[in-house]
Amino acid sequence: MTLPASLPDRITIREVGARDGLQAEAPITVDQRLELLDALLIAGVTHLEVAAFVSPKAVPSMAGAAEVVAGLGAPEGVVRAALVPNVRGAELALAAGVDELTVTISASGVYNERNVKMTIDESVEAIAAVCVLAADAGVPVDAVISCAFGSPYEGDIKPAEVSLLRQRLLALGAAAITLADTTGMATPRRIQEVLALTGTDVGLHLHETRGTGLVNAYAGLLAGVRRFDTSVGGLGGSPFAAGAAGNVATEELVALCDDLGVSTGIGIDELIEAALLVQGFVGHPVPSRVAKVGPRSRRA
């Protein structure tokens, strides 16, 4: 398969800061989470992962997920996604009225066991049940394959295994697949090797553990990927892998795309304001460099 080496006119960004970005932080209030989401809407973000419907004992920072969804309401033209770990989480998220469910499964068996205490096959079964429930409700499911570019426990994962897992998830009824570099193992070479088998009709969820997140996003852009997960301020990181760093910062990808002439529909100045807002909420500097110094240029 030969991948295209051209830039798109436009990409879609799913902003995951309110979930992935905050899940490893000390809990902030529901009102603060809503203030962050409002700031992201003002910036022009139209696809938001707003919460996770998980046990508040397991992830205290995600307590009050239904209250977050209710407080946000249903802004016109905005997709509100929620992470769910199982059928019970899906039931709660659907009752709250979300527009999209996200589920996770790892291409790394060891990581999957540590993350969700299940084998890959057991996770496939759990996702199948969520897909049935979501289909009945008319809500799409995005299945996120973590460690798609390598595992901190097993090293490289064969691209063929990632492609096969993608096919299994689509067969279950997943509407979309996102490939996640959960612990920062990806390089542009690995991005190309995996996309050569999975195709480019996938999302990319990238992390900055080894400082390659943004260059991997650029490699994805050149290859033909048009969907990206990013987190305001660059917050985030897996609690199940030592040294895992935050997501690619939304404002850093937007600044890059602005300079390249790739439309995101998101305003960089308003986005930086949102990053500084969440910085105040979490009580420490955010990793984003663009949030600190601004973009090199601003396109009209």
Contact 116, 123 (CB under 8 A): yes
Q: Is the pLDDT of residue 202 over 80?
A: yes
Q: Coil, helix or strand for 275?
A: helix
* SS3 assignment, position 69: helix
Instruction: Determine the number of helices (DSSP H) and then strands (DSSP E) in the chain.
Output: 11, 8
Q: Looking at the predicted structure, is the pLDDT value of residue 148 above 70?
A: yes
- Give yes or no for residue 242 having a pLDDT over 80: no
Calculate mean pLDDT across residues 79-94: 98
**Contact assessment for residue 81 and residue 51, using Cβ atoms and an 8 Å cutoff:** no
Of 110, 96, 184, 180, residue with least CA distance to 146: 180
Query: What does the domain layout of the chain look like in residue ranges?
Result: 12-293
Mean of pLDDT over the chain: 94
CA–CA separation, 153 vs 168, rounded Å? 23
Could you tell me if 95 and 82 are in contact, meaning their C-beta atoms sit under 8 angstroms apart?
no
Tokens coding 33: 């989470």
| 214, 248 contact by CB (below 8 A) | yes
Helix (H, G, I), strand (E, B) or coil at 279: helix
Residue 237's pLDDT band, with cuts at 50, 70 and 90, is confident
Supply the pLDDT for residue 300.
Answer: 47
**Whole-angstrom Cα distance, residue 225 to residue 203?**
7
Average pLDDT, integer, range 212-231: 96
Give pLDDT, residue 5: 61
Please give the Cα distance from 270 to 279 (Å, whole number). Answer: 14
**CATH number for the 12-293 domain, one of 3.50.50.60, 3.90.400.10, 3.20.20.70, 2.40.30.110?**
3.20.20.70
pTM (predicted TM-score): 0.95
Q: What is the pLDDT of residue 296?
A: 87
Calpha distance 79→249 (Å, rounded): 20
Residue 205: predicted pLDDT: 97
pLDDT grade for 96, boundaries at 50, 70 and 90 = very high
50 CB burial (10 A radius; 0-12, 13-18, 19+): buried
Least confident of 52-66, 156-170, 225-239, 252-266: 225-239
pLDDT score recorded for residue 2? 54
pLDDT at 57 over 80: yes
What separation in angstroms does the CA of 294 have from each of 40, 72, 83, 255? 17, 28, 31, 9
- Poorest-pLDDT segment among 56-65, 150-159, 237-246, 265-274: 237-246
Six-digit token string for 76: 């016109």
**Res. 299: pLDDT tops 60:** no
**Residue 214 in this model has a pLDDT that exceeds 90:** yes
pLDDT-derived band at 244, boundaries 50, 70, 90: low
Mean pLDDT of 37-63: 97
Q: What is the pLDDT of residue 241?
A: 61
Q: Which of 142-156, 165-179, 219-233, 240-254 has the lowest mean pLDDT?
A: 240-254
- Show the tokens assigned to 63: 């307590």
Question: Which pLDDT tens digit goes with each residue over 62-82?
Answer: 999 999 999 999 999 999 999
